[in-house]
Amino acid sequence: MVPEDSRKSSLSRTKKDCTPTCHIRLSLRSLTNVSIYELVETDLYRKSGNEEPNFRHSNYATSDISTFLNVLKSSLGSGLLAMPSAFMNAGLLVGFLGTLLVGFLCAHCTYILVKSSQALCSQLNKSHFNYPETSEAAFQCALKGKFKKYSTIAKQVTNIGILLPSYGVGIIYVLTAAATFKQVFENYTGLCYGMRWYVLLMTVPVMPIGTIRQMKYMVPFSAVANLFLLVGVSLTLYFTASDFPALSSRPLTADLNRLPLFLSTVLFGMEGIGVILPIENAMKNPKHFLGFTGILNCAMTIVVSLSLTMGVFGYVKFGDAVQGSITLNLPDTILAQMVKILVALAILCTYGLQTIAAAQIIWKVLQPKIAKEKEDFVYYTMRVLIVIGHVISAAVIPKLAPVISLVGALGLPLLGLAMPALLETLTFWEDGLGPWRWRLWKNILLGLAAVVALVSGTWVSCLEISEAYS
């Protein structure tokens, strides 16, 4: 294991003072970074001067195919099953065009984030930065250090931007699994219990999965989840395509005041920007990540296509009766019930992976204050409390659709739109930001869009939750 001091960022050093940094290794041993993967430095790769890390010599560096699959996985999950609900809040035409627009914005903001991070790494002779470190570096280097005093704040804001949706995803996973098992149980037994009882029962399966510390023990769960989710999504599309109604049976637009719910849900469904930099950092050929035919564009094309397909088919099939997860609308046949169970099991199996980011951010704050001999006890206590927090939060608000919108509105506009725009502006300010500073004006618009999505999405989602209990 690399000593702790060698992992700490030394962004305050000048370019001349920066020692050559080392290549990144993808390790599945322990969880000490903010990202899903532990990225540690090895002596297998060194760069000097302004040389870019175009090729990384390591047995642990990921191939282009592996990177492509990782990007897909980061952007596809339970949010895909919520796309029909998003279309219900926008209408068929507005939903289709809006999904294309949001998909383009997500891909663009991910692109400029990675590009900014690569430029800062080259400037500071670093092999890699994660998202919070990129924010810190941009503020330290911009305009010859004029914003250096805000670098720590920028890093913490980014951490909060990662923490909020990560914590919210845990709540959504508990709600989705609970709603699915409730529906299946009631269908076969005829016994009806309140949703909150099923939420509380979810403590039994999520507690052991949610407290796993070693990544290697999560790999089997992740593999099973991928298989279950693939089968579940495929069969869900089969059910929605059966006896498909005419497109004209659904409205092209919906009430304007429901548009924020649409935007928040689509952002939740497609945004995986929090783990993009760790994925890019682990690439063997990082230059293949960006570009017109790069891995990012290819992966996002598939993500947007699947989101459109699920949204259109699910909404046209079930209309305004569509629920927060499309699987809850499937019929009561044996095959459909199996699909529901497969999806619920897939969600439970990935619960631990999806909640690691929140745990790691909190642990990085707690660890320096804990005595060495008490670290394990405090760490597992923290993980248990996070799981309990997810369950209690889900029990307080057992409504899936508005919770998905609220999670999408609270963290993702900041993390996925505003911060990448700000970092690009700071990183490339001295380069002129293009003719007539068009990048500056573009990023201002992105920032305004993020503020509108944050405020309106949060407000409307809270109103939806309030109306559910009024």
Taking only the tens of pLDDT, the chain with its 470 residues reads 444 444 344 444 434 444 333 333 333 333 333 333 333 333 333 343 444 444 445 555 777 887 888 787 777 777 888 899 999 999 999 999 999 999 999 999 999 999 999 899 888 888 888 888 899 999 998 887 888 999 999 999 998 888 888 888 889 899 999 999 999 998 888 888 889 999 999 999 999 988 887 766 777 887 788 888 889 889 999 999 888 888 888 999 998 888 999 999 998 888 777 778 877 877 888 888 888 888 889 989 998 999 999 999 999 999 999 988 899 999 888 999 999 999 899 888 888 877 777 787 888 889 899 988 888 999 999 999 999 999 999 998 888 888 888 888 887 888 889 999 999 999 998 887 888 889 999 999 999 999 999 999 999 888 888 877 66
Among 388, 376, 382, residue whose Cα is nearest residue 363: 382
In a domain, 37, yes or no: no
Domain CATH number, residue 204: 1.20.1740.10
- What is the 3-state secondary structure of 289-346? CCCCCCHHHHHHHHHHHHHHHHHHHHHHHHHHHCCCCHHHHCCCCHHHHHHHHHHHHH
In a domain, 387, yes or no: yes
The pLDDT of residue 317 is: 93
In a domain, 16, yes or no: no
And the tokens for 108? 């663009």
In a domain, 337, yes or no: yes
Sign of the CA dihedral 61, 116, 163, 394?
A: negative
Please state the domain count of the chain: 1
The pLDDT of residue 463 is: 87
Helices 375-396, 356-366: axis angle to 10 degrees equals 130
In a domain, 161, yes or no: yes
In a domain, 12, yes or no: no
In a domain, 28, yes or no: no
The pLDDT of residue 203 is: 93
In a domain, 342, yes or no: yes
Domain region containing 229: 73-469
The pLDDT of residue 470 is: 60
Please state, in angstroms and rounded to a whole number, the distance separating the CA atoms of residues 90 and 322: 13
The pLDDT of residue 215 is: 63
Among 47, 52, 58, 59, residue whose Cα is nearest residue 19: 47
Q: What's the gap between Cα 32 and its chain centre?
A: 19
The pLDDT of residue 41 is: 33
